[in-house]
Amino acid sequence: MTPTNRSHLIATDIEQSPQAVIAVIGNPNTGKSTLFNLLTGMRQKVANYPGVTVEKRVGELKIGARHFQLIDLPGTYSLAAHSPDERAAIDVLLGRIANMPPPDAVLVVVDATNIKRNLFVATEVLELGIPVVIALNMVDLAAAQNIHVDAAALAKRLDTTVIATIAAASGQNNLEPLKAALSEAVDQKTQKPWALLDDIKHAAEQLADDTNRQFTPQPSGDGETQPVAAYEVQRALIDKGGEAEKRLIAEFGDNLSLRLQTLRDQLSPDQTLAERDAHQRYAYIASTLDGIVQAPSGQLKSSWSERVDQFVSHPILGSLLFVLVMATVFQAVFSWATPMMDLIDAGSSWVTAQVYTALPEGAIASLLADGVVAGVGSVIIFLPQILILFAFIIVLEDSGYMARAAFLMDRSMRWCGLSGHSFVPMLSSFACAVPAIMGTRVIPDTRDRIATIMAAPFMTCSARLPVYALLIAAFIPQQHYVYGLINLQGLVLLGLYLLGIVGGVLTAFLLKRTVLRGSTPTFLMELPPYRTPNIKSVLLRLVERAKAFLIRAGTVIFFVSVVVWSLAYFPRSEILAAEFERQKLAVESSIQVEAEREQAIAQLDNELAAAQMEQSLLGRMGKTIAPLFKPLGWDWKLSAAVIASFPAREVVIAVLGTTYAVGADVDAEDASLRERVRNAAWPDGRKVFTPAIAVGLMVFYALCLQCAATVAIIRRETNSWRWPAFAWFYMTGLGYLGAYACAQLG
């Protein structure tokens, strides 16, 4: 295809040079993505398709001096689309995505161990008229199961190129023949006409022609005119009630819907057209494979994978193993990450100290140290947990275990409207919601995925723990019950964990029964054979996850951190600074003992910081907004600390440290902060923090969404600002109500 004859499909501004495009398609679990990773290496870009949550993965393939653009389409069993997410594949193939020309060739990855089902989508792609190369993948694994496919004979019968490739995990890939075939296919420009169901194809072509003649194509949103593609009409005919039909009816009205139904009745009077299509396609595949595939007869019950499953998917033994696997993952994310996170923390403190020694005191030093360094630190602090959790998730997914976990857990997740796919992301959010939300990509159903994303931030993550630790230690008495076995402080912590679980589960439950209600709860899931993950592919995906987080979430967190820093820093009062300078001089001359003097000066510094904070924008905002928080029993200091902790909950401790004049470098175990907080009083002498107010504050932090990273990652994963905005207002509103209830009841 030359750039001229497809120009009507390309949006006006072409970013890339007219580089040939190759789409990669295939069933899930065929090693498609691994093959894609091996072909493109690090030269990949990941984005979202417009309007849906499906990942658009584009990479560059170099063959000799030529550069091709490779597009990895989501794994699919057929080109039929019954949800907007499933439409991505067909939209790419028909060139309907803005700024993306239709592909010049399609690479169909076919699993040789299960060639019959895998050829279904291949025969559909062959009908598109785009040159096709079939990668007959995993021929080595097939051979190990005594399955032998004659690739040359298959190529001849399908009238296309078939290249045998071996499972990527074996590490000794020779991809040269595949690359040569791809290069040749691109030059070939068109595939020979190929139709399995001639009458359906002709009917679709006729209807498309009629429609295009009747309606002058209207410029669509992005300023291009798109005639109706015959294949889209064919899909609308076959997939009754599917996406293609919905879109055509939306564009051309109900009249078209009637014509589609009339055609369906003509083409297939005694069974549905989908049934006829599936039957004829599988009949064709069976006759094509006849004589060129040697496979052991029977159902292959004694395969290695099958024997493993007798244990792994066993209702009792399998469940025990699952608990063990999850305990390991949880343990790893929670505690293996801690040393690395401490190191990052120490590193950022060290850099902060260096900045203060290197630069003169003032706005620039503070911006660099408390704004920039702290901001960067608060972004990369998430990396250890993200990397560890994803290493597990990717390996569990690629090995085939994740499907078994979803199988075992499906029933336990179902009552709140979710499926087994949601279990692992939900559990991971007890460590941190950010990687958990990124992990919801394992959930195939969009509505389930969004419900899980909305529920995950409720789980008690590691950032809530320091807040709980401080407030519990300060306000919950050390009381023991049942011979010292039960501790009141522990009970409160347990209560907060349960509150998060109940909040999350109820949220999923309510969403799935209202805005995210689906037509039918389905759980069609392939349980793929167990396979060894490819190390290189796992590492590439890890790097990609980390990059996605740093770019999308990192920029938001960084921006918010700098904004909060400016609010807390400006304006500076010179009068206050001069006043404290005078007091310092007075202290220096009056106190003789060095230790005492230093302590007094440090105390003055802390009090200066507190005074500056009080008259800073943040302090003023705290005072302005305090009436709103009055019903919760919060004073302006607490209100300011809550505002400042928008980027991250745990920041509340440092801000409380500053406002209560004990210095910002406090941690949750700090006794002086605990003391100050306990003694904080209203102007009339009443204590600010009664146990009820403290519990209310903890309930607030249990329920609210004070975490810029989570907000940013919800934006990235749902591909819109609607869901993160909803999550923030909903959760913060719940937090407010919870804290209000505590204040009123206490």
Partner 1 sequence: MSILQLAQLFGFAADTKTVKQDGSGAEDKTLADLKKGQPAQVLGFQNAEHPSAQRLMQLGMIKGELIELLRSAPGGDPIEYRVMGYNLSLRRAEAAGILVEAH
Tell me if the bond preceding 521 is cis, omega within 30° of 0: no
Q: Rule CB under 8 A: say whether 242 interacts with partner 1.
A: yes
Which of 478, 519, 590, 592 touches partner 1 by CB under 8 A?
519
**Joined tokens for residue 182:** 């791809």
- List CB contacts of 549: < 8 A, sequence separation 6 or more: 382, 383, 386, 434, 438, 713
Contact status, residue 300 vs residue 306, Cβ threshold 8 Å: yes
Which of 172, 174, 520, 592 touches partner 1 by CB under 8 A?
520
Which of 189, 307, 411, 513 touches partner 1 by CB under 8 A?
411
Cβ of residue 300: shortest distance to partner 1, in angstroms? 7
Q: Rule CB under 8 A: say whether 117 interacts with partner 1.
A: yes
Q: Rule CB under 8 A: say whether 146 interacts with partner 1.
A: no
Cβ of residue 166: shortest distance to partner 1, in angstroms? 20
Q: Rule CB under 8 A: say whether 330 interacts with partner 1.
A: no
Cβ of residue 295: shortest distance to partner 1, in angstroms? 8
Q: Rule CB under 8 A: say whether 376 interacts with partner 1.
A: no
Q: Rule CB under 8 A: say whether 25 interacts with partner 1.
A: no
Measured distance CA(291)–CA(671) in Å, rounded: 80
Q: Which helix (H) or strand (E) holds 61?
A: strand 55-63
Q: Rule CB under 8 A: say whether 504 interacts with partner 1.
A: no
Q: Given the complex with partner 1, which of 305 and 672 has the nearer CB atom?
A: 305
Cβ of residue 141: shortest distance to partner 1, in angstroms? 13
Cβ of residue 118: shortest distance to partner 1, in angstroms? 10
Q: Given the complex with partner 1, which of 79 and 355 has the nearer CB atom?
A: 79
Q: Using CB under 8 A as the criterion, what x/- string covers residues 261-300 for binding partner 1? A: ----------xx-xx--xx--x------------x---xx
**Joined tokens for residue 719:** 């591909």
Measured distance CA(452)–CA(437) in Å, rounded: 8
Cβ of residue 436: shortest distance to partner 1, in angstroms? 23
Q: Rule CB under 8 A: say whether 513 interacts with partner 1.
A: no
Q: Rule CB under 8 A: say whether 239 interacts with partner 1.
A: yes
Contact status, residue 105 vs residue 131, Cβ threshold 8 Å: yes
Q: Given the complex with partner 1, which of 229 and 274 has the nearer CB atom?
A: 274
Q: Given the complex with partner 1, which of 315 and 362 has the nearer CB atom?
A: 315
Which of 488, 527, 550, 626 touches partner 1 by CB under 8 A?
527
Q: Given the complex with partner 1, which of 268 and 659 has the nearer CB atom?
A: 268
Q: Given the complex with partner 1, which of 124 and 544 has the nearer CB atom?
A: 124
Measured distance CA(408)–CA(317) in Å, rounded: 11
Which of 65, 524, 593, 595 touches partner 1 by CB under 8 A?
524
Q: Given the complex with partner 1, which of 285 and 431 has the nearer CB atom?
A: 285
Q: To which residue do tokens 């055609």 refer?
A: 263
Cβ of residue 467: shortest distance to partner 1, in angstroms? 37
Letter string b/e over residues 418-435, b meaning 16 or more CB atoms within 10 A of that residue's CB: bbbbbbbbbbbbbbbbbb
Q: Given the complex with partner 1, which of 77 and 559 has the nearer CB atom?
A: 77
Q: Rule CB under 8 A: say whether 516 interacts with partner 1.
A: no
Q: Which helix (H) or strand (E) holds 163?
A: strand 161-164
Measured distance CA(507)–CA(657) in Å, rounded: 34
Letter string b/e over residues 491-519, b meaning 16 or more CB atoms within 10 A of that residue's CB: ebbeebbebbeebbbebbbebbeeebeee
Options 115-123, 570-578, 599-607, 609-617: segment touching partner 1 (CB under 8 A): 115-123
Cβ of residue 662: shortest distance to partner 1, in angstroms? 52
Task: Count Cβ atoms below 10 Å from residue 658 Cβ, excluding itself.
Answer: 26
> Cα angle vertex 432, ends 429, 434, to 5°?
95
Q: Given the complex with partner 1, which of 80 and 508 has the nearer CB atom?
A: 80
Q: Given the complex with partner 1, which of 147 and 437 has the nearer CB atom?
A: 147
Q: Rule CB under 8 A: say whether 442 interacts with partner 1.
A: no
Site for partner 1 in 693-722 (CB under 8 A): none
Q: Given the complex with partner 1, which of 246 and 547 has the nearer CB atom?
A: 246
- List CB contacts of 710: < 8 A, sequence separation 6 or more: 433, 434, 437, 457, 727
Options 3-11, 112-120, 160-168, 353-361: segment touching partner 1 (CB under 8 A): 112-120
Phi, psi of 45 (to 5 degrees): -130, 135
CA distances to 115, 162, 260, 293, 356 from 290, in Å = 12, 17, 35, 7, 77
Region for 400 from its dihedrals, namely left if φ exceeds 0, alpha if ψ lies in -120 to 50, beta otherwise: left
Which of 314, 480, 687, 722 touches partner 1 by CB under 8 A?
314
Q: Rule CB under 8 A: say whether 356 interacts with partner 1.
A: no
Q: Give the count of residues interacting with partner 1 (CB under 8 A).
A: 46
Q: Rule CB under 8 A: say whether 250 interacts with partner 1.
A: no
CA distances to 131, 650, 690 from 639, in Å = 64, 15, 16
**Joined tokens for residue 12:** 């006006």
Measured distance CA(735)–CA(496) in Å, rounded: 12
Site for partner 1 in 45-84 (CB under 8 A): 77-78, 80, 82
Measured distance CA(224)–CA(725) in Å, rounded: 32
Phi, psi of 169 (to 5 degrees): -65, -20
Cβ of residue 97: shortest distance to partner 1, in angstroms? 23
Q: To which residue do tokens 């001089």 refer?
A: 585
CA distances to 461, 496, 504, 719 from 507, in Å = 17, 16, 5, 20
Site for partner 1 in 533-562 (CB under 8 A): none
Residues β-bridged to residue 707: 648
Which residues here bind partner 1, judged by CB under 8 A?
77-78, 80, 82, 114, 116-117, 120, 239-242, 271-272, 274-275, 278-279, 282, 295, 299-301, 309, 313-316, 319, 403, 407-408, 410-411, 420, 519-529
